[in-house]
Chain A
Amino acid sequence: MKNVLLGIMLFGFVLSLYAGGTQEADEGKKVELRFVSSQIGVHPEAPWLEKTIENFNKMHEGTINVLFDGVAGYDAAWMKISSDAATGDTPNIFMLAAQPKELEIMSEADAVVDLFPLFEKEPEYKSRLNDDASVKAYTVDGKLMGLPYAKAYIGIFYNKEHFADAGISVFPKTWTEFGNACNKLKSAGHTPLALMTQPSAWTAQLIMSAYIGTTDKGRSWLNTPSGEKNFVDQVFIDGVTKIQEYYFNYTTPDAIGSEYGVAANNFLQGKASMIANGPWMIGDFSNPDIAPEGFADKVAYEVFPGNVVISFENISYAVGKATPEEEAASWEFIKYLMDPSVYGEFLTISGNAPTFKTDMSLIIMDRIKEEFTPKAVNAAANFPHFLSVTTQEVNDSLEQTMPALASGDLSPLDFAQECQKYME
């Protein structure tokens, strides 16, 4: 007994000698940058990011070293970023989403560097910036909070085999046709939709947003500022009623209480025929661990009924305020991210659409994307999705209200009123 204890003690002490030594002090002018993002582990963009950082460090060997502090899961990453910023230790470069709360917090805390002046000083880079929705999405109080990097056109994936079984040859062009298609799918023994409720009912709220955005009135409702929305508006309530109908009739039993993984798996395993999601999911269709062989061939990507798509500002990269040397070095990295070959690889692997001008020939699109892109670009309208145009409180409230709506405990009107309450 004593010997075992002694053994553990020695083991521990010996190992602790190694622990102390892993932090090597940097001599000389090397600038160490800390990069925080959730693109790690099983995240599809992880290999790209790892390679990019490695190449950058090699290019700037001896002067700049970027340390990747990857955190799995966007929420966890945000928790780290915000608690670091709160303790005066904002990461040098980090991913920033176009969500109202994140932007507001960073802006009020004055924790990020305004990129506009930096772009002014380098016209070559400035000329590539598109003056469009992306830049606007990341501008707060006239400051560009981050380099818009990924945006996506979101449509709906569907299983061609299931559709063939149900005798549907053309993807529905109106919402009525959509309802009919769902019925046909059900008769053919398939569950039409992969929906979910936790924590933000992502795939479901995409469909809801698409439904609302089909009309002009809906689009203008979606575009009202997040703090001023009136939820008790027929346009919204109609959308909620629709999605509740889908929850009741057209989805899998485990939709209530499930998070994204379950919905995704349902689609990948052929248990559901359709899933609304962004192009980043395309990689999963060929992933042998999670999708059956040959699944990718069965999938097609379409615009929503009404010929509309959702345009989604995915992520940007922000520069945290720090010492001048660190900020300058971070800016170098941002510029490197704009390098056409780097960006081309990113867009290929993530399936996103470019937010600034780049060499399109460097983007390799797979069949699904190639079929979809022209349809998306030529869609009658595009608009943001629900979560990006409401306050954080409302977003988080979905975790509580969606399951109730889906099970019928909340009526659409009540749901709308709850959203209203949360906004205030």
Chain B
Amino acid sequence: MNKAKDLHFQISAILPVLILFSLFYFIPIIVLVVTSFMEWDKLQIGGFAGFNNYIHLFTDPVDSRAFELAIKNNLSWTLFVIFIHIPLALVTALILHSKNKGWKIFRVLFFIPNIISITAIAIIFRQLFNPSYGVMNWLFEIMNIESMTDVNLLFHKTYGWYSIIATWILYIGFPTVVLLAELEAIPKELYESAQIEGATKGQEHVFITLPLLKNIIGTLCILLVTAGFREFERIYLLTGGAPEYRTGTLSLLVYEKMTYVQFAYSNSVGVFLLIIGVLFILIFNRLFKIGKSVYL
């Protein structure tokens, strides 16, 4: 009897979310996957095209270059997230955890960029990078770096992509706050026995704190990496992928193909995004063994 009532509850509790999600996420995913196998370069969908769209992405001289660069950039973004963005957040969280004076203010300050729409941030940075009146070039002037004072960093052959990375890499508000929360949750007793044995702060962190944080770090990796793949407006507004797609990403490619009304290609890139995303989720789950308890 209870089981039936329970089932009844589960279904009615989950139903609203299920319906809305299926409507606005699942159906589009199906459409995405199905149409990636069809011809679609006018307003109406054409016939079946098999793997042609995917083959095109790998072989067409123009598109495959854009595709390659996009994947390279996406992966580079991922590396920055894992090896710089999240570690920065970790360090910040550890510092704030010591509750030195004013830590609450910093906590709020760091979170502010996260509430501003990415569009606004992109537009602001676009102005900041303008050689005539932007801050970056003013900085170069004071530092007397002649060769760079007139260059728009965003469009630089090598530094362009890194300039884009610079617009978010220090904005660690979200992961810092999450990590801080988890740090609060660690019982003090765990450190006491270590302190009795004379461990230094460093050793405490490496052997006690970090292992305890593995779950949340893994989750953050998943959330931030997938967010990185979904990033579109920022790059579109900053450089639009120029020069020569060096700052292009997969989601930018999707948009571009849509403006050519080549929906088939944009959808195949979309499917790629899906596959890569799922792969990363699986990898991170494995790597960090998320879900397994940290306490023995």
Contact = CB atoms under 8 A, between A and B. Distances in A.
Given A257-B242, A399-B241, A403-B242, A392 B44 contact: no
A266 B132 CA distance: 9
Interface string A192-211: 00000111000000000000
A271 B132 contact: yes
Contacts of A403: 155, 242-244
Interface of A: 75, 78-79, 82, 85-86, 101, 105, 108-109, 111, 197-199, 252-254, 256-258, 262, 266, 271, 392-393, 396-397, 399-404, 407, 409-410, 421-422, 424
A399 B43 contact: no
B152 interface: yes
Interface of B: 42-44, 61-62, 129-132, 149-152, 154-155, 157, 239-245, 256, 258-261
Given A101-B260, A257-B154, A400 B241 contact: yes
The 5 tightest CB contacts between A and B, nearest first, are A253-B150, A257-B155, A257-B152, A403-B243, A109-B43
Contact of B157 (A101, A407, A421, A424): A407
A197 B157 contact: no
Given A105-B43, A253-B131, A262-B130, A400 B245 contact: yes
B44 A109 contact: yes
Given A199-B240, A256-B155, A421 B131 contact: no
B260 A422 contact: no
Given A101-B260, A111-B43, A397-B62, A254 B240 contact: no
A252 B149 CA distance: 12
Contact of B240 (A393, A399, A422): A399
Given A79-B259, A399-B241, 15 more contacts: A86-B261, A105-B42, A108-B43, A109-B42, A111-B43, A253-B131, A257-B152, A257-B155, A396-B259, A400-B241, A400-B244, A404-B243, A404-B244, A409-B157, A421-B62
Contacts of B150: 253-254
Contacts of B244: 400-401, 403-404, 409-410
A286 B128 CA distance: 27
Contacts of B259: 75, 78-79, 396
A422 B63 CA distance: 9
Contacts, number: 91
A315 to B, nearest CB: 18
Task: Select the residue from B150, B152, B239, B245 with max chain A CB neighbours within 10 A.
Answer: B152
A407 B156 CA distance: 9
A410 B131 CA distance: 21
A392 B154 CA distance: 25
A86 B258 CA distance: 12
20 contacts: A75-B259, A79-B258, A86-B44, A109-B44, A111-B43, A199-B242, A254-B132, A254-B152, A256-B151, A257-B129, A257-B154, A258-B152, A396-B259, A397-B62, A400-B242, A404-B157, A404-B243, A404-B244, A422-B62, A424-B61
Contact of A108 (B42, B152, B242): B42
A337 B188 CA distance: 78
Contacts of A402: 242-243
A361 B243 CA distance: 48
Contact of B261 (A105, A266, A409, A410): A105
Contacts of B242: 197-199, 257, 399-400, 402-403
Contacts of A79: 258-259
A234 B1 CA distance: 86
